[in-house]
Amino acid sequence: MQPDVDQLCVNTIRTLAMDAVQKANSGHPGMPMGMADAAYVLWTQFLKHNPGDPSWPDRDRFVLSAGHGSMLLYSLLHLTGYDLPLEQLQQFRQWGSMTPGHPEHGDIPGVETTTGPLGQGLSNGVGLALAERLLAAQFNRPEFDIVDHCTYALVSDGDLMEGISHEAASLAGHLGLGKLIYLYDDNHITIEGNTALTFSEDVPGRFEASGWHVQVVDGHERTAVAQALHQAQSETERPSLIICRTHIAYGSPNKHDSAKAHGEPLGVDEVRLTKEALGWPPDAQFFIPEQALVHFRTALDRGTGAQREWETLFARYVEAYPELGAEWKRRMAGELPAGWEKVLPRFDAEAAPIATRVAGGKVMNALAPVLPELVGGSADLHPSTKTYLDAYPAVRKGDFGGRNLHFGLREHAMGGILNGLALHGGFRPFGSTFLVFSDYMRPPIRLASMMRLPVIYVFTHDSIFVGEDGPTHEPVEQVAALRAIPGLTVLRPADAKETVAAWRWTVENRSGPVALLLSRQNLPILKQTEGDGVVRGGYIVADAPDPQVILLASGSEVELVVQAQEQLTREGIAARAVSMPSWELFEAQPAAYRDAVLPPGTRVRVAVEAGVSLGWERYVGVHGEVIGMTRFGASAPYKVLAQQFGFTAEHVVGRAKACLDQAARLQ
């Protein structure tokens, strides 16, 4: 008996995954083989997409949270007609190919987000679905549902064990994201063996407790999967989880249901045996039956038709609501409205001292009316981080017209959701917490950096000057640890003026994530600081002719080096003070500029930063010194900590003189 076309299609996915992993001699064949049935049903019967235009704004989003099963996604992309040639599948996991080990967002059409680190895709999906609801609330009008799509994801037991999945699921349930539909590959197998070794949760109970709609199906019964997807679509008040009981490496005579099929090739012999068992030509490689390909490729016509229908609707929308239509186009293109920068507040050096977190809050609230794409929130700390957009309501279940998100104490999911909001398009998302808790969300920050997403992190309470809360709440190593992430721009402004400039640069630059590090404590508005300097990353704030010593600092410590420079000048020592709000921006300057700020001939340098010294040696060199933290902080009023840990102008002056003396002795 000939297999029907559905079976042919499903087995094509399976054999492509087997072949690609075998050829690369590396990868995860078991998951694509196990989830081929359910994914096939989703992609051919439910997913609204146009392989011919992966950027169609109203497409459904599909996230492969279990990114190790990347060959499932690559197979589906190729088969349904995305611009991902078969030759690329044959180059799986090779240098320069479009088929890396885990799906990478960017150059591969149809890959909505970079996945692999478990739990991340699951949380990105919540952000994508939230973006859809927010955009719909802002742009849809009666009879014009121009924003109306679902977000699907395929998640694994590994995703569900990660804490971020609980956080994200809890928020999705809380917000009632009814158009979020997840398929859970319940295959009972992890790398270490059976999930029973470590995972005995009542998964339906858990998701129901978080407000989800839960169904359980046999993941190889395609009709049942389709029925469950229909049910999930008709459930509009709650996100849906469809638990698909599957068998890893389905079809493999000897590795079916085995941990051996999780993260390594089946082996040449087993590939052959599996193909035989599936009724496949056992020696054909990357074989795609014509009948299967034709069937898969109907997605192109369907997709083109669906997109055309939407475009017709959108054209009528633009006629009916020309301003909204223009605004939509601007938002989706990521362009800024003309004159947006005029609303930026100005801070005067004569004004009273102000914490940069407070200045930052004023900037955000000034920007909010002209930048409706600015949405975000904090991990239960907005009264402290000052990131609430006061003129706008909070986002809540059933009412997505707000701009403020209450993430709760879920920093990790906040990071993942921000990535989803940015990936969707139409938003400039921000998230906020204390700098020390950036540690709770490094994995999504890393992924935002890798994907170059324009996410904004507002990390306040940026040093030991948190004070009384003590070392658990005082960042010491976090500034360095953020600077270590490639592609992340870290900005630590010295005062309110630099804060405005930092925000301005952030708004103008969409090429990657930005971390704004802001003070808890009040800081004087320095007459020496200037916005033009901030965008160059480092600049001279106080100078003397032929400086013998250069003092460098960022953030709240700039005040100290300015005072120290004045003191040294009074003592007849020619000194320069440099504000270094951003190493990344400074490094991006031409060498001539960098050498003008830090002349190679002036070797005596002292850097001051209320954090670990790691990396400052780049700027102070071997004759220099870093006044930083070599231990964790302590609980005490911040002015006491400044004295105890040497963050005073006197101490800076003393160390500068000591360095000068030492340099003189060495000469």
Which sequence positions are flagged as catalytic?
A: 411
And the tokens for 209?
């407790």
- Which residue type does 152 have? Y
Restricting to residues 351-390, which ones interact with a second copy according to CB under 8 A? 378, 380-384
Exactly one of 205, 305, 353, 599 binds a second copy (CB under 8 A); that residue is: 205
**Is residue 162 a contact residue for a second copy (CB under 8 A)?**
yes
Nearest to 385 by CA among 366, 409, 413, 359: 359
Number of other residues whose CB lies within 10 A of the CB of residue 543: 16
With CB under 8 A as the contact rule, the residue among 15, 44, 170, 579 that binds a second copy is 170
**By C-alpha distance, which of 271, 261, 189 is closest to 11?**
271
> Binding marks (x or -) toward a second copy, 35..74, rule CB under 8 A?
--------------------------------x-------
Among 6, 137, 206, 584, binds a second copy (CB under 8 A): 206
Kindly tell me which residue out of 12, 65, 124, 190 binds a second copy, with binding defined by CB under 8 A: 190
Give the residue with the Cβ less far from a second copy, 210 or 307. Answer: 210
For helices 290-320 and 5-24, angle between their N-to-C axes, nearest 10 degrees: 100
Closest approach of a second copy to the CB of residue 662, in Å: 12
Measured from the CB atom, is 97 or 254 closer to a second copy? 97
* Shortest reach from residue 220's CB to a second copy, in Å: 24
All residues at 6 or more sequence positions from 521 whose CB lies less than 8 Å from its CB, including other chains: 355, 465, 467, 556, 638
Q: Which two tokens stand for residue 152?
A: 């699907």
Question: Is the CB of 39 or the CB of 436 nearer to a second copy?
Answer: 436
Quote the least distance from Cβ 94 to a second copy, whole Å.
Answer: 6
Pick out residues in 440-469 that bind a second copy (CB under 8 A).
440, 442-443, 446-447, 449-450, 467-469
**Binding segment for a second copy among 134-142, 270-278, 282-290, 436-444 (CB under 8 A)?**
436-444
Q: Which stretch binds a second copy (CB under 8 A): 147-155, 265-273, 565-573, 616-624?
A: 616-624
- Burial call 480-489: b when 16+ CB within 10 Å, e when fewer: bbbbebebbb
Stretch of 34-42, 142-150, 273-281, 477-485 lying at the interface with a second copy (CB under 8 A): 477-485
CB atoms within 10 A of CB 646: 17
Pattern 85-124, binding to a second copy, x per CB under 8 A? --------xxxxx--xxx-x---------xxxxxx-----
Question: What residues form DSSP beta bridges with 542?
Answer: 577
CB 153, min distance to a second copy, A: 16
**How much is the CA Rg of the chain, to the nearest whole Å?**
28
User: In Å, what is the CA distance from 421 to each residue of 48, 377, 428, 639?
Assistant: 19, 12, 8, 40
Closer to a second copy by CB, 140 or 602: give it.
Answer: 602
Q: How far apart are CA 570 and CA 501, in angstroms?
A: 31
Cβ 497 to a second copy shortest distance, Å: 28
Determine, following the binding rule CB under 8 A, whether residue 401 of this chain makes contact with a second copy.
no
Two tokens, residue 9: 């299609």
> Using an 8 Å Cβ cutoff, are 74 and 115 in contact?
no
> Looking at the chain, how many residues does it have?
667
What's the start-to-end Cα distance of the chain, in Å? 91
* Spatial separation of the C-alpha atoms in residues 170 and 155, rounded to whole Å: 16
| Closest approach of a second copy to the CB of residue 530, in Å | 28
Identity (one letter) of the amino acid at 642? A
Amino acid at 397: K
Tell me how far, at minimum, the Cβ of 258 lies from a second copy, in Å: 12
CA distances from residue 15 to 12, 44, 124, 249 in whole angstroms, order as listed: 5, 18, 29, 11
Ranges within 307-326 binding a second copy (CB under 8 A):
none
Q: Which of 621, 650, 662, 664 binds a second copy (CB under 8 A)?
A: 621
* CA pseudo-torsion sign 551, 557, 558, 559: negative
- Contacts to a second copy from residues 557-596, by CB under 8 A: none
Q: How many residues bind a second copy (CB under 8 A)?
A: 113
Contact segment (CB under 8 A) with a second copy among 21-29, 146-154, 221-229, 275-283 equals: 21-29
DSSP states along 26-79: -S--HHHHHHHHHHHHIIIII----TT-TT-TTSPEEEESSGGGHHHHHHHHHH
Judged by beta carbon, residue 94 or residue 567, the one nearer a second copy is 94
What kind and span of H or E run contains 215? strand 213-218
Measured CA to CA, the distance from residue 311 to residue 325 in angstroms comes to 12
User: Binding of a second copy at residue 198 (CB under 8 A)?
Assistant: yes
Residues 207-246 that bind a second copy (CB under 8 A): 208-211
Write down the least CB distance from residue 449 to a second copy, Å: 8
CB of 503 to a second copy, least distance (A): 23
Whole-angstrom Cα distance, residue 469 to residue 458?
19
Among 139, 317, 407, 459, binds a second copy (CB under 8 A): 407
Q: Which stretch binds a second copy (CB under 8 A): 22-30, 130-138, 147-155, 179-187?
A: 22-30
Contact indicator for 418, 454 with CB cutoff of 8 Å? no
- Kindly indicate which of the ranges 23-31, 76-84, 146-154, 517-525 contains the residues binding a second copy, using the contact rule CB under 8 A: 23-31
Task: Report the residue from 636, 651, 657, 663 that binds a second copy according to the rule CB under 8 A.
Answer: 636
What does the angle CA 130 – CA 136 – CA 142 come to, to the nearest 5 degrees? 155
Least distance CB 384 / a second copy (angstroms):
7
Residues numbered 490-549 forming contacts with a second copy, rule: CB under 8 A? none
Token pair 């407070």 is found at 358
Among positions 236, 281, 632, 664, the unique one binding a second copy when judged by CB under 8 A? 632
Structural contact between residues 648 and 560, judged by C-beta atoms closer than 8 angstroms:
yes
Binder of a second copy out of 36, 164, 344, 500 (CB under 8 A): 164
